[in-house]
Structure 1
Amino acid sequence: MGSQKDINLSVSKYLPFLGALVIFMQSLDGTILNTALSTIARDFGESPLEMQSIIVSYTLTVALLIPVSGWLTAKYGTKRVFISAIVLFTLGSLFCALSFSLNQLILSRIFQAFGGALMVPVVRLTLLYTYPKAQILKVINYITIPALIGPMLGPTVGGFLVEQLSWHWIFILNIPIGLAAIVMAKRIIPNFTSEVGRFDIMGWLYISVGLTAITLVIEKWNNPHFTLLGLFAMLVLGALSLAIYILHAKRKTYPLINLGIFSLVSLRVGVVGNLISRLGTGGMPLMIPLMLQVGFGYSAFHAGLMMIPQALANIFSRTLVLPIVRTYGYRTTLIFSTILTGLIIGNFFFITLATSYITVILLMVSLGAVTAIQSTAMNTITMADLNEETSSDENSLISVTQQLAVSLGISLASMLLLLFENKEFIQTNNQIDAFRYAFLVMGILTVLSSYTFTFLDSNAGTSITGKVMVDEDA
């Protein structure tokens, strides 16, 4: 495998920009879609509260294919896999734009996800191989801040395109960006490879069946085509498949994901924290624009404009992450930022049709600022104890966790919306009430998830922050 000293400095300094461009394309694709769901629902004759399959199909497929990305990257090299990934993602975007039915769009999103599953993990792995650990937080922050332009522009651009042209154009936008990324990748991305055994096809099948079954249970619980017994059987199947993988991984020399890396406390807490906390936060990018359109009756463009202050707050807040974690440490930062995030989400419960848009914007700005700190700290703590021998396994696990958490968060948010939509204790006929109660539950879940981070040591992440925290209770 290549090492940092093998990389030309004039080339390596452009790697973060390429990473930012790729994440920008993915984040633009995701956020631009959120404001278009209501229009797509009308176009296909579907309920806007049941359009989560367009997003879940993508995020779940990405989660399932990310472990494959680790093996492919090790065997064929970062450059080859990365360029192939962009080609697949760009073609998938074209297929999405040409879709004429919901099922066709879902299938196109799954194809698009084949590329999405490879792009970001390969970039992250290349950065880990190229830069020293002390620079990782700075580099990750750098590639994330430009990428946040995607979420800032996405809802507004999506709303504009939906109203002035059609929703098909939100996918066409990816094509020129993808072509630019291919040209850059050919010039600057190094082709790291490493030793790898045979692909663990059985391990991948166990994980795929397990994660798919569990996600479908959450997403389809209110679907009349699924009985309670059928959902329970699916849940058992999912849990059993994951349990079998654990036994399988212990026997394999080269398992798909080496579970031995869970011995690293920082990674274990970061992964579990990602899964649990995003059950509450993962659905917010979908819920807010949907609430503004379905609940308040805003146009797609108006709803997109309302999202800009939140994205700006998110960008600004990320510049504060490094000084905050250096001052208070990862443990304290994660505990309090997660609690504060949950409290802000819970406050969306008090929004009614009489609430001024200024109040709504202030809540959204607060959410954007705090979640930036929480998510950046949560994602980088998992990298605190990385080493080159296990970095591919760790990178795959982290990426799978993030995508799976978003998928579960969106599925849970949609489940809560359907649960509260026709409940008798909701006194009015306003659809906004379903959103209010869903926000309340999501806020409570997020606050409770903060307990996960209490298992971190006070000095966790010092290899990243470069500062040892003093434990006053010692």
Structure 2
Amino acid sequence: MTKDSSQTALLWIVAAGFFMQSLDTTIVNTALPSIANSLHVAPLAMQPIVVAYTLTMAMLTPASGWLADRFGTRRVYFAAILVFVLGSICCSSAHTLGQLVMARVLQGLGGSMLLPIGRLAVLRSVSGEQYVSALAFISIAGQLGPIAGPTLGGWFVQAITWHWIFLINVPIGAVGLYAVRRFLPSHDEAQAPPFDVIGCALLSLCMIAFSLAIDAPVSSHRAAWSAALFALAVASALAYVPHARNRRDPLFKLSLFGEPNFSVGLIGNLVCRVGSSAVPFLVPLLLQLQLGYSPLHSGLMMLPAALAGTLAKRWIAPLVRRFGYDTFLLVNTIIVGSAIVAFSLISRGTPLVIEIAILAVFGAANSMQFAAMNSVTLKDLSHEDAGSGNSLFSMVQMLAIGLGVSIGGGLVNLFAAQWGSPELGFRLAFVCVGVITLVSAWIFRHLDDASGTRVIRGQAAPSTGR
């Protein structure tokens, strides 16, 4: 096999892995009511299956690079696909919510390594001048997942059963396993530095405690449980500071936060994504539970947002060059937040064209928001800090998705119980998560745009634009 054909095969392998990961993040949402009915639980009680998957990926992403160095890229990538496929089979075989949550954790274990290690394999096999083009090719797979996911999930539920939203990964994964053994270059294990197990454990404990504090069960002791879990999350984060300061090779260097735009971008990303990540979870539930849409119809309704997001990506660079990151993110964040609030106005009497228009505006603005936030957060990091910063950034992205689902679902339950109206619960929840997104506009006002308004394509690409 020639070098060019070998590189082409590598790109297709990594793109397929990224497609599986991105597909699985979105395909579940339109199937939630059907899965809930099959497992005999309330639809809004299904949020743990989304949170478990994203939180597992957030916790394990930092270890992926070390595993690839220690055991070899091909071995670890093969293991990642295998674990992901096994997790998918376990998901399709689940008979209770608890079993499904545990299977999603197993899926997240494999999914956490698919993109980082695939990207690392490309970096080690593709020359520098071709690397950006290679990442752009891979990112297309990440864009196809959100486009195909909701519709495919709705079709599987309506035409066959919900189990196939997970079983679809089996043939894709089987081909991927063969292709990895056949085409993926064998990069031998290297002398990897000791992995910061304690640092990873502290940050993982912080994320788990914080997520559980927000998603604490409704009970007479809920406030006490949440307060205790919040305290544990803060204590874990604070404990990481002296640990990182006294360790030669911490999981994340504290010097990362000396770059102002990285710190502001990280916080802004977390806050903004909490609101925008609630939308893919809440909208299919609103359409099916309140408006009476079928699973396939609700999946098709998500297409305008995905397609508009894909088309809008070409506008980012010229807009940022003209107005700068700070002004662009201020205006665009207001558009994203306002679009989320506008979902609260959708009812049975809303014309279809209005629903599609709101979804398209949200999709376009949200896509540009993600790409601009990704770029501004990473663009000023030094070469030696870029890898570590991107890894921490990926953790925050996954954490924000889980928090968005927990907060969005929790608000619907809270308001529905308070006012005795699920419809009002959805309306008020959309207003609240929209306001959370709008708060990030104030955070982005603290960006330092003096370093220039250039868009660094090479750094925007690795974060996948999501």
The alpha-carbon deviation at position 358 of structure 1 amounts to 1.9
Q: Which residue of 2 aligns with 1:65?
A: 60
- The question of 1:436 aligning with 2:427 is answered yes
Q: Quick one: which amino acid aligns to residue 438 of structure 2?
A: V
TM-score under structure 1 length normalisation: 0.88
- The question of 1:258 aligning with 2:250 is answered no
Alignment of 1:48-63 (within 5 A): 48-63=43-58
Between the aligned partners of 1:136 and 1:371, the Cα distance in structure 2 is 26
Q: Quick one: which amino acid aligns to residue 447 of structure 2?
A: L
For structure 1, which runs of at least 5 residues remain unmatched after alignment?
1-6, 467-474
The alpha-carbon deviation at position 133 of structure 1 amounts to 8.5
The alpha-carbon deviation at position 167 of structure 1 amounts to 0.9
The alpha-carbon deviation at position 353 of structure 1 amounts to 2.4
Match of 1:212 among 208, 213, 218: 208
Q: Which has the higher helix share?
A: 2
Q: Which residue of 1 aligns with 2:234?
A: 239
Match of 1:197 among 174, 193, 196: 193
The alpha-carbon deviation at position 13 of structure 1 amounts to 5.5
The alpha-carbon deviation at position 128 of structure 1 amounts to 5.6
Larger CA deviation: 269-278 vs 87-96:
269-278
Q: Quick one: which amino acid aligns to residue 270 of structure 1?
A: G
Q: Which residue of 1 aligns with 2:373?
A: 378
Match of 1:230 among 196, 207, 225: 225
Structure 2 counterpart SS, 1:257: coil
The alpha-carbon deviation at position 137 of structure 1 amounts to 6.8
Distance 1:197 1:226, change over 3 A: farther
Distance 1:141 1:418, change over 3 A: farther
Structure 1 counterpart SS, 2:177: helix
The alpha-carbon deviation at position 242 of structure 1 amounts to 1.1
Between the aligned partners of 2:299 and 2:149, the Cα distance in structure 1 is 8
Query: Contact (CA 8 Å) 1:125, 1:395: kept in 2 or not?
Result: no
Q: Which residue of 1 aligns with 2:171?
A: 176
The alpha-carbon deviation at position 444 of structure 1 amounts to 1.2
Between the aligned partners of 1:191 and 1:152, the Cα distance in structure 2 is 33
Q: Which residue of 2 aligns with 1:471?
A: none
Query: Contact (CA 8 Å) 1:322, 1:465: kept in 2 or not?
Result: no
Give the RMSD, CA atoms, in angstroms.
2.6
Q: CA offsets, 1:390-433, max 9 Å, x none?
A: 34322321211110111111111111111211334xxxx65222
Query: Contact (CA 8 Å) 1:280, 1:445: kept in 2 or not?
Result: yes
Larger CA deviation: 209-218 vs 413-422:
413-422
Q: CA offsets, 1:190-225, max 9 Å, x none?
A: 6386653222222222112111011001112x4228
What is the total number of aligned residue pairs between the two structures? 455
Match of 2:347 among 341, 349, 352: 352
Larger CA deviation: 331-340 vs 401-410:
331-340
Query: Contact (CA 8 Å) 1:125, 1:391: kept in 2 or not?
Result: no
Query: Contact (CA 8 Å) 1:384, 1:460: kept in 2 or not?
Result: no
Structure 2 counterpart SS, 1:319: helix
Distance 1:361 1:435, change over 3 A: same
For structure 2, which runs of at least 5 residues remain unmatched after alignment?
459-466
Alignment of 1:11-410 (within 5 A): 11-12=6-7, 16-127=11-122, 140-186=135-181, 187-188=183-184, 191=187, 196-220=192-216, 222-224=217-219, 227-410=222-405
The alpha-carbon deviation at position 135 of structure 1 amounts to 7.7
The alpha-carbon deviation at position 461 of structure 1 amounts to 5.9
Distance 1:302 1:338, change over 3 A: same
Q: Which residue of 2 aligns with 1:3?
A: none
TM-score under structure 2 length normalisation: 0.90
Q: Which residue of 2 aligns with 1:451?
A: 442
The alpha-carbon deviation at position 465 of structure 1 amounts to 5.7
Query: Contact (CA 8 Å) 1:266, 1:381: kept in 2 or not?
Result: yes
Between the aligned partners of 1:20 and 1:166, the Cα distance in structure 2 is 27
Between the aligned partners of 1:116 and 1:203, the Cα distance in structure 2 is 21
The alpha-carbon deviation at position 45 of structure 1 amounts to 1.2
Structure 2 counterpart SS, 1:422: helix
Larger CA deviation: 74-83 vs 39-48:
74-83
The percentage of aligned residue pairs carrying the same residue is: 37
Query: Contact (CA 8 Å) 1:156, 1:301: kept in 2 or not?
Result: yes
Larger CA deviation: 125-134 vs 149-158:
125-134
Q: Quick one: which amino acid aligns to residue 211 of structure 2?
A: T
Q: CA offsets, 1:318-349, max 9 Å, x none?
A: 23333333443333332222121011111112
Q: Quick one: which amino acid aligns to residue 164 of structure 2?
A: W
Q: Quick one: which amino acid aligns to residue 69 of structure 1?
A: S
Between the aligned partners of 2:185 and 2:142, the Cα distance in structure 1 is 18
Query: Contact (CA 8 Å) 1:344, 1:363: kept in 2 or not?
Result: yes
Between the aligned partners of 1:271 and 1:137, the Cα distance in structure 2 is 23
